[in-house]
């Protein structure tokens, strides 16, 4: 299974970084996980949020947040478009189901109703 993340929203923050005290370079991002294989694509409903500082290249964890960062985080969390989890099947899945139904109906006709196929 291949894992990728869909970015729902990214916002740059003007707050001071708790590590390097820079006022520019902090990025708040909200992402949703998508798992894909040859037969299905599944999007999980949980949202992953993180704050990264591009100046010091550190991830800012919730224990390091100041009250200003927490207020901005809560505001942006309310504005993200919430997408529910979903499950989509690929064309290969539908082709395999169709092929199975054709083979199963052929076996049924051959074993149970041989007079329909001319035997």
**Segment 43-93, tens digit of pLDDT:** 998 889 999 988 888 888 888 888 888 999 999 998 887 778 889 999 999
What CA–CA distance (Å, rounded) separates 50 from 9?
Answer: 11
pTM over 0.75: no
Domain residue ranges in the chain: 2-90
Give the residue from 85, 71, 79 showing the smallest Cα distance to 32.
85
What is the percent of the chain with per-residue pLDDT over 90, rounded to a whole number? 37
pLDDT at position 118 = 62
Backbone angles phi, psi at 94, to 5 degrees: -65, -35
pLDDT, residue 28, reads 92
Instruction: Give the model's pLDDT for residue 37.
Output: 92
Q: Are 92 and 40 in contact (CB under 8 A)?
A: no
Who's near 30: CB < 8 A, 6+ residues apart? 7, 8, 9, 10, 47, 48, 49, 76, 77, 80
pLDDT at 82: 74
């Amino acid at each position: 299974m291949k894992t990728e993340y869909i970015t729902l929203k990214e916002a740059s923050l003007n707050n001071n970084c708790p590590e390097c005290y820079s006022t520019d370079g902090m990025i708040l991002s909200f992402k949703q996980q998508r798992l894909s294989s040859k037969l299905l694509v599944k999007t999980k409903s949980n949202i992953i949020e993180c704050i990264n500082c591009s100046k010091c290249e550190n991830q800012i964890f919730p224990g390091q947040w100041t009250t200003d960062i927490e207020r901005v985080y809560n505001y942006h969390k309310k504005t993200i478009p919430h997408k529910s989890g979903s499950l989509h099947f690929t064309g290969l899945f539908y082709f395999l189901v169709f092929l199975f139904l054709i083979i199963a109906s052929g076996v049924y006709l051959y074993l149970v109703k041989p007079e329909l196929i001319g035997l």
